[in-house]
Amino acid sequence: DTEVTQTPKHLVMGMTNKKSLKCEQHMGHRAMYWYKQKAKKPPELMFVYSYEKLSINESVPSRFSPECPNSSLLNLHLHALQPEDSALYLCASSHAGRNTGELFFGEGSRLTVL
């Protein structure tokens, strides 16, 4: 069982819809991540929050908007997506600071954009 919980597990949306992906962890980690993974490819980093502040944005299009309301929660707001944005979206967490240790992944949210 994963200690990082993501909802929803599956999401189908049209290009004009607005939806959100949610992620929660209770391991006391102060770094949280969004990754995007296409089939047969490794995860690609999108955003990193450390101590609830955005640390990394890997030049992600503005139709993806991250939010970190508190140290346990991470959201990804989706608006006006394209069919090529269909992918598995993985949330992960780790310790923050110099020794971050391993990444803990949630089960992912599988997104289909019609």
Partner 1 sequence: RKEVEQDPGPFNVPEGATVAFNCTYSNSASQSFFWYRQDCRKEPKLLMSVYSSGNEDGRFTAQLNRASQYISLLIRDSKLSDSATYLCVVNSPSGTYKYIFGTGTRLKVLA
| Single residue of 23, 64, 106, 111 touching partner 1 by CB under 8 A | 106
Residue 75 pairs in a beta bridge with 22, 67
Size of the site for partner 1 (CB under 8 A): 27
The answer to whether residue 2 forms part of the interface with partner 1 (CB under 8 A) is yes
The answer to whether residue 107 forms part of the interface with partner 1 (CB under 8 A) is yes
| Single residue of 19, 22, 63, 110 touching partner 1 by CB under 8 A | 110
SS3 45: strand
Contact 57, 47 (CB under 8 A): yes
| DSSP conformation letters of 48-81 | EEETTEEEEE-S--TTEEEEEEETTEEEEEEES-
The answer to whether residue 33 forms part of the interface with partner 1 (CB under 8 A) is yes
Contacting positions for partner 1 (CB under 8 A): 2, 31, 33, 41-43, 45, 48, 50, 55-56, 88, 90, 94, 97-108, 110
